Amino acid sequence: MTRWGQRFCLCFCCLFILFVQINNANEKISVSEDYIQRLFDLVLENQARTDVPAAAGQT
């Protein structure tokens, strides 16, 4: 994934979480913190996986 792809994905995830929080305030829809934590873990894991080869190739 390109850097712009990572940024887009991260922004999308943040907007999604913000949207969920707004819905929680309005309609009390419950989204577990585990789900949000897993989402962040996936993003960070994906970022770490894609950053390592890029850094190695720049020598």
Which tens digit of pLDDT belongs to each residue from 2-29? 777 778 888 787 888 878 777 766 655 5
Is the residue at 18 inside a domain?
A: yes
User: Which pLDDT score, from 0 to 100, does residue 17 have?
Assistant: 82
| Banded model confidence at residue 34, pLDDT cuts 50, 70, 90 | confident
Is the residue at 36 inside a domain?
A: no
Is the residue at 25 inside a domain?
A: yes
Is the residue at 47 inside a domain?
A: no
- State which residues form the domain around 18: 1-31
Q: What is the H or E stretch that residue 58 is in?
A: none
Q: How far is CA 8 from CA 1, 3, 12, in A?
A: 10, 9, 6
Query: How many domains is the chain built from?
Result: 1
Is the residue at 11 inside a domain?
A: yes
More confidently predicted of 48 and 12: 12
Is the residue at 26 inside a domain?
A: yes
> Is 30 exposed, middle or buried (CB count within 10 Å of its CB: 0-12, 13-18, 19+)?
exposed
SS3 at position 7: helix
Is the residue at 55 inside a domain?
A: no
Is the residue at 22 inside a domain?
A: yes
* Stretch among 19-23, 40-44, 52-56 having the lowest mean pLDDT: 52-56
Residue 55: pLDDT over 60:
no
Tell me how far apart the alpha carbons of residues 41 and 22 are, in angstroms, rounded to a whole number: 22
